Structure 1
Amino acid sequence: MSGVRWGILGTAGIAARAFLPGLREAGGGTAAVVAGRDLARAEAFAGENGVGRAVRGYEAVIEDPDIDAVYVPLPNALHAPWTIAALEAGKAVLCEKPLCLTATEAESVIDVARRSARPLWEAFVFPFHPQTARLRELLEQGAIGDLREIWSSFHFQLEGAENIRLDAALGGGALYDVGCYSVRFAQLLFGREAVAGHAVTVKGEAGVDVETAGVLEFDPGRLLLSCSFDLPFTTYARLVGTGGEIRLTNPFHPKPHDVMEVWREERPVQRHEPGEGSTFSFGIRHIHEVLRGEAEPRHTAVDDSLGTARALDLLR
């Protein structure tokens, strides 16, 4: 396979803002086709973002024998059926988070993924970033003793009332959109699934949560999370151990100006910068290596996504 040929389902902003720049940065693949319900809109998206061609209807991408991998940035409620369709067509799939809206739905998708010829990834790409690798090394080396508690927030201010993130029928809400990052982050670092949890929410006029704060128990260890559509942007995380803390300004999509610091006795003793490269570029590079037979798949939906879905059920 000289280059992985990607098909994109829909013209979502995250495809233009994150996936396509990451694909270009990763190398080894091309955005061959984008599908939309509105062909004119898909053609405009293709022209503006350097995608090879546009087609009407998502089936046209899934049924195309020249497409190797499919990116699914559709509204949350549409993730499961189109991910299943792409897997059953023999495509590798990168599906935007959350993979599904319930653990029961996730079980159905993962069951298909287990039988599929190519892997499925949920688009939590921060596990592939070198910052995350360094963070896990620090924990394994005992830099802060035993990890007992994670504080994690993901806030941003959502503009405009006409947004799919505010549509309950499409699986909107702050927990599904950004709170899920904190859940996957804690699951990765504790190395196990949550066993209990509860949350409080603030709902907007559209009926979805615009703010959620909650606790997940990992036995031992706990996650305290906060997510919001109404607060200024932040993606801060604080890891509290028996011998110190690690503080990250952006654990999910770090930029070169972000930092990770080890704190002991109320002062920083180590400082690490994430370096260059987007999380999407590292995740896509791994997918390309897998599809070329150069690496074993890591952080797949089969490995990780059911635990995330179960934890989100605990908080809903």
Structure 2
Amino acid sequence: MTDDRAAHGATGTTGTTVRIGVLGAARIVKTALTQPAHEVPEVTVAALAARDPARARAHADRLGIPHVHDSYDALLADPAIDAVYVAVPNGLHATWSERALRAGKHVLVEKPVTANESEARRLAQVAEETGRIACEAMHPLYHPLTDRVRALLAAGTIGEIRHLEAHIAFPIPSSKDIRWSYELGGGALMDLGVYAVALLRTYAGATGPAAAEITEVVQAKAPTRTKDVDRRVDARLRFAGGATGRIVATMWGWPPLATRCLVEGTKGRLTVLNPLGPQMFNRITVTAAGRRTRESVPREPSTYACQLRAFARAVVDGERPRTDAVHFVPTMGVIDAIYRRAGLPIRGARVADPVADEVA
């Protein structure tokens, strides 16, 4: 694939393979990118850059990434790179995603897409100005499990949606983990709650886009572990269609992995077990008309492979990804509103370390 974007359309591609460069020597790169790339022939992971070139080389060698650049800017200047996977800490997502877009690269950025709504709106504007794709790596939304849940809800299986809940728990015990840093965009809401908000908006929108909008954060509690960094968040929401919602997300305590969603309707209820990692296990339970039915969707392909394939289609064919600005701007607006209601500052109010690059 060449870099002759003017001659070959808005996507800037001439072939069917998207060459991706990685910003950040993060552990998530293996799970979210290099492993699923083996299942997606439309992409190749071509290069990596990190703040420490030696660390970048070691990480690239472990993951089988052939090229290493001495800096993020050097990778962005590489004409052999078509798109960038941004795996730096949350507080730096906006900065490096914008630089990548202005360098002519498409962007797949780890969740949450930015530190706050203002940054998300700016990123959307830059993507529009540059004609490049900015896509949040909200991988569960690309899996057939989400499609099946939406289909059941759209079919009126449980009637009109009246209430939705999402519960997510994953402990981060080490106080040195960057997810406990306010400056780097840490917090349970940012790390886990953003999944909950995205899932509930997606489920609520099964009957129409307007129903997905969250119009009010009625109540929010967010006890902290470190200064201004929430260890747990419990928020009550109101949707445009009249439904109520609740999200509970915690990085403190046990069980080590507990993820489930609930949708209650006028005719019954639907529960989803493990919507974040359905490739490990999943189950949908519907209780309606006096009957209870259970089903699962095939575990493979993984959420990450589904996401990567969709991103490649967006770059090569211009197919709109599910998690572009229409998705991520309103989601970040809800995140900001929850923090404000809980009495905590939104993320991004204090400057992040410009060279940190490690995430889980």
TM-score interval for Structure 1 and Structure 2 normalised by the shorter chain: over 0.9
Contact 1:256 1:274 in 2 (8 A): no
Contact 1:256 1:273 in 2 (8 A): no
- How far apart are residue 256 of structure 1 and its match? 4.6
**Residue 214 of structure 1 pairs with residue 231 of structure 2:** no
- Whole-Å Cα distance in 2 between the matches of residues 241 and 65 of structure 1? 52
Which position in structure 1 is the counterpart of 2:330? 307
Contact 1:83 1:95 in 2 (8 A): yes
**Residue 168 of structure 1 pairs with residue 198 of structure 2:** no
Which position in structure 1 is the counterpart of 2:120? 106
> What is the TM-score normalised by the length of structure 1?
0.95
Which position in structure 1 is the counterpart of 2:251? 229
| Ranges of 4+ aligned residues in structure 1 off by more than 3 Å | none
What is the root-mean-square deviation in Å for CA atoms of aligned residues? Answer: 1.5
Which position in structure 2 is the counterpart of 1:38? 52
Match runs of 1:64-79 below 5 Å:
64-79=78-93
Which position in structure 1 is the counterpart of 2:133? 119
**Residue 24 of structure 1 pairs with residue 24 of structure 2:** no
Letter of the structure 2 residue corresponding to residue 280 of structure 1: Y
1:196 corresponds, among 216, 230, 244, to: 216
Which position in structure 2 is the counterpart of 1:93? 107
Q: Deviations over 1:60-111 (max 9, x none)?
A: 1111111011000110110001100111111110011111222112111111
Contact 2:137 2:323 in 1 (8 A): no
- How far apart are residue 298 of structure 1 and its match? 2.6
- How far apart are residue 116 of structure 1 and its match? 2.2
Letter of the structure 1 residue corresponding to residue 223 of structure 2: V
Which position in structure 1 is the counterpart of 2:284? 260
- Identity within the alignment, %: 33
Which position in structure 2 is the counterpart of 1:280? 304
Contact 2:283 2:294 in 1 (8 A): no
Contact 1:154 1:227 in 2 (8 A): yes
- Whole-Å Cα distance in 2 between the matches of residues 266 and 75 of structure 1? 48
Alignment coverage as a number of residue pairs? 315
Contact 1:114 1:302 in 2 (8 A): no
**Residue 142 of structure 1 pairs with residue 165 of structure 2:** no
Letter of the structure 2 residue corresponding to residue 260 of structure 1: I
- How far apart are residue 283 of structure 1 and its match? 1.0
Letter of the structure 1 residue corresponding to residue 224 of structure 2: K
Change (3 A) 1:158 1:266: farther
Letter of the structure 2 residue corresponding to residue 308 of structure 1: T
- Whole-Å Cα distance in 2 between the matches of residues 281 and 131 of structure 1? 14
Q: Deviations over 1:144-191 (max 9, x none)?
A: 111111110110111322111011110100000010011111112222
For structure 1, the 5+ residue unaligned runs are: none
Which position in structure 2 is the counterpart of 1:159? 173
Q: Deviations over 1:255-277 (max 9, x none)?
A: 25321121226752242334311
